[in-house]
A and B are shown apart, each in its own frame.
Chain A
């Protein structure tokens, strides 16, 4: 049974559609991330699941129970949906202690004092905040507030956990660490999580599946590897990093296993390339190659049979510590390549660049 089902969900603010006909299923125990630039409708989608916004069209079900159906004018308010939520600003109530903050959902549900004490202590222990129980909330750092917010969202064992950019107010180092810890916790508890972020790295590292959104629509849903390496469209491909797109003409197209296609392409070199789209011979396609999947080869080696190669001149070289970014001028246009930090081709030097066949992916233009 799916934990969350969204059917034809839209949200209109005036005439503008913030969310436009979204369909999504989240399975029990799954960690799904809504990813997209600001204003793409991801937060609005989350808030509609929470019940903080009312969907203009469509139906939302949580745990098999319909919570909102625009056609029937049926709407269950947020407090009766039994969901946990972590807000971007954490929303820790400053007039309460840490304990009171976490105890709040249980007190609302009129649990006994002993049960409240036990469960709050357990929840705080879970996020390693046990010794801070008596602190007044304003005396916490951002990272600690975030942990309290998670404890508060988990303490009443909600059906689903909703997270609205919970890491964006933390500094970079803490963000990675907290994210990893949270993912471990989520796996251990097996709680269904719907997570909103604009940070691609976060989405990759945490999710079972990523939902890429743009302008209120879903562009692609899939595991992180699919989204990153096998995008449906140029827009999805371009959303992560700054990949190279090489225009090529399709010579032949045949079906492959797993619903993909193998294209025979001519783009200054001739070779096969995979795609989710069937593109008829004679049409153009864009071949996506990510900078980190390209490398320099010694000049005397010819183009390999299982990959693509170009000759080029180094135009720019930027040392970035962990790696070096190089821009080449080639017959296929300007190509960005990430080299190891130890390589240092001179600007103006002629080089051969190579990309393995499995690193290339074709999308329609």
Chain B
């Protein structure tokens, strides 16, 4: 809106050019068009280019950067029985974790938003914490906790019952699903708790007045009103389950349970000669599947978002639980203990014993700390991760802020295109984007050496982070009324002054919250990093995986603990910001 008024002002410039041509030139080179065109260019490079290269690579017979011919061998080779099993595994595992996660998330969200359980605000922080821990850390911790031979839980169980058989084996379908649930439950919780809070309590009260009991009201009104949002969350979680890499890599592969992401990874990393065409064709196939899922989601939600549910803030109905409130309280604490205290405790224990699994007094040592602190590779990876985190999160947020502004606050032509492009990486699993970028970098004209530097990782991180940063900033802008901007313009501030003094001044807390989210995202990223790193540009998650593969679980624990400290520090800062300003996620 604001920019339209700027264009309405006639500009009298003494340039000898025919009037129509002059205005055309002005329009072409006006700041707005330059901005729109450069946004489209940047976003296309980040999303469309690797996607196009994915298609190109899937039809190309040789690895990236080598001369070859075009054929359909890649697609032919993915069509076989074992890949059908892989596909079924992927979907079954994702469904298997989404359904219990959603149930658990609804229950937890209800406890936090709608009951008088003590210390609900503190519990909420604890329940959501697992979402911010890099999955690779808990994967390794659970690898130690639930190892069928020497896992701590199995040892405790055997000690306590005198049994000789280990009850827990994380290297199984159950293990993969169990690990995924620890992430999807808090992720879904974050969505659902807000829906519970935003619902007009009168909608439920009127049902009570009509003669329906509390439980009937919950079934017929509350759940039904939440159904569109729950469907949305369900599909979102399903997609994330299909994209998931760490859980199947750690717990599936050792048990010969393969999913699409591990199949792609293995075909490049664990074969005598990496089969790029096969991996790329598989990646493109999974992209198509994601696309169909998203279309399905749109179709399901078409015209079914109830504005009453996403309305203004209400004081929600709080149910008095009486004595039961201690049951719900314990339930939340139990969730926190299992998802955070156990794995972090395992890392702590693991880091101080000579060999993990052999916990006796004389095995206590600090040698792993010494080893880690003397390991130059770890320090380099730490430096790389920090550098990428700081620069990447900043870049993602700046890009996201501009894209969100253009798509939410303006009526410019091309804003829908920009919005769509920025959203595109959202349905690309990190693994797929990684392969796309492998091709993309190889196909760049000669003197641009991106591959093999940390900038390769940076581009992938920016692409992966943009959809989230756009979302965070869009909701921040949406909360700011147009009047605030227009009032500033009316009172004499220019467009840029308004941006700086009003919009940025009001939206910066969201920016900071989004920045921390983006930083978390970069710190935890494994699936794209594992494909794009090279010697010298390793990041922490990659080094962790390598140490783990070499059997150095104890050193992994030390690094894991350091990352945990970082997670807790950043989460604390983020919560401080959210508390003092509007919450976005």
Contacts and interface: CB of A to CB of B under 8 A. Distances in A.
Interface of A: 50-52, 77-80, 82-85, 87-91, 93-95, 104-105, 108-109, 138, 149, 152-153, 156, 162
A50 B205 CA distance: 10
Contacts of A156: 210-211
Given A93-B224, A94-B307, A104-B210, 12 more contacts: A51-B208, A77-B213, A78-B208, A84-B209, A87-B202, A87-B205, A93-B206, A94-B225, A104-B220, A149-B206, A156-B210, A162-B209
Given A109-B211, A152-B210, A91 B203 contact: yes
- The 6 A-B pairs at the shortest CB distance, nearest first, are namely A105-B210, A91-B202, A91-B206, A87-B202, A94-B306, A85-B209
Contact of B208 (A52, A109, A153): A52
B227 A95 contact: yes
Contacts of B209: 50, 52, 78-79, 83-85, 153, 162
A93 B211 contact: no
B216 A108 contact: yes
Contacts of B390: none
Interface in B495-521: none
B200 interface: yes
B284 to A, nearest CB: 39
Nearest to A136: B303
B239 to A, nearest CB: 25
A155 to B, nearest CB: 9
Contacts of B203: 91, 93
Contacts of B205: 50, 52, 78, 85, 87, 91
23 contacts: A51-B208, A77-B208, A78-B205, A79-B209, A80-B211, A83-B209, A85-B209, A87-B205, A88-B202, A89-B200, A90-B202, A91-B200, A91-B202, A91-B203, A93-B224, A94-B307, A94-B309, A104-B207, A104-B210, A105-B210, A105-B211, A108-B211, A153-B209
Nearest to B317: A52
A153 B207 CA distance: 10
Contacts of B202: 87-91
B206 A85 contact: yes
A87 B202 CA distance: 7
B221 interface: yes
B213 to A, nearest CB: 5
A83 B205 CA distance: 12
Interface of B: 200, 202-203, 205-214, 216, 220-221, 224-225, 227, 306-309
Nearest to B205: A52
B200 A95 contact: no
A82 B221 contact: no
Nearest to B209: A85
Contacts of A93: 203, 206-207, 221, 224-225
Nearest to B207: A104
Given A91-B205, A94-B308, A95-B306, A79 B200 contact: no
Contacts of B216: 108
A50 B208 CA distance: 10
Given A87-B202, A89-B200, A138-B306, A95 B210 contact: no
A104 to B, nearest CB: 5
A165 to B, nearest CB: 11
Contacts of A108: 210-212, 216
B211 A82 contact: yes
Contact of A79 (B208, B220, B225): B208
A79 B211 CA distance: 4
Contacts of B200: 89, 91
A52 B203 CA distance: 13
B500 to A, nearest CB: 39
Contacts of B207: 93, 104
A123 to B, nearest CB: 12
A50 B213 CA distance: 14
B224 A95 contact: yes
B218 to A, nearest CB: 13
- Best-surrounded residue of B202, B208, B211, B221 (most CB of chain A within 10 A): B211
A91 B206 CA distance: 7
A238 B227 CA distance: 49
A239 to B, nearest CB: 27
A118 B32 CA distance: 62
Contacts of A138: 306-308
Nearest to A94: B306
- Best-surrounded residue of B200, B210, B224, B227 (most CB of chain A within 10 A): B210
Contacts of A94: 225, 306-309
A184 B308 CA distance: 31
A82 B308 CA distance: 26
A109 B207 CA distance: 12
A138 B214 CA distance: 24
Contacts of A85: 205-206, 209
Contacts of B227: 95
Nearest to A90: B202
A51 to B, nearest CB: 8
Contacts of A78: 205, 208-209
Contacts of B211: 79-80, 82, 105, 108-109, 156
Contacts of A90: 202
Contacts of B210: 79, 104-105, 108, 152, 156
Contacts of A91: 200, 202-203, 205-206
B240 to A, nearest CB: 27
A220 B306 CA distance: 43
A91 B307 CA distance: 12
Contacts of A153: 209
A105 B224 CA distance: 17
A108 B214 CA distance: 12
Contacts of A109: 211
A24 B206 CA distance: 24
A83 B224 CA distance: 24
Contacts of A162: 209
Nearest to B220: A104
Contact of B212 (A52, A79, A152): A79
A5 to B, nearest CB: 20
A95 B213 contact: no
- Best-surrounded residue of A50, A80, A138 (most CB of chain B within 10 A): A138
Nearest to B217: A79
A252 to B, nearest CB: 55
A159 B44 CA distance: 66
Contacts of B307: 94, 138
A264 to B, nearest CB: 53
A361 B307 CA distance: 50
A88 B206 CA distance: 11
A94 B306 CA distance: 6
B156 to A, nearest CB: 46
A78 B309 CA distance: 23
Contacts of A82: 211
B206 to A, nearest CB: 4
Contacts of A88: 202
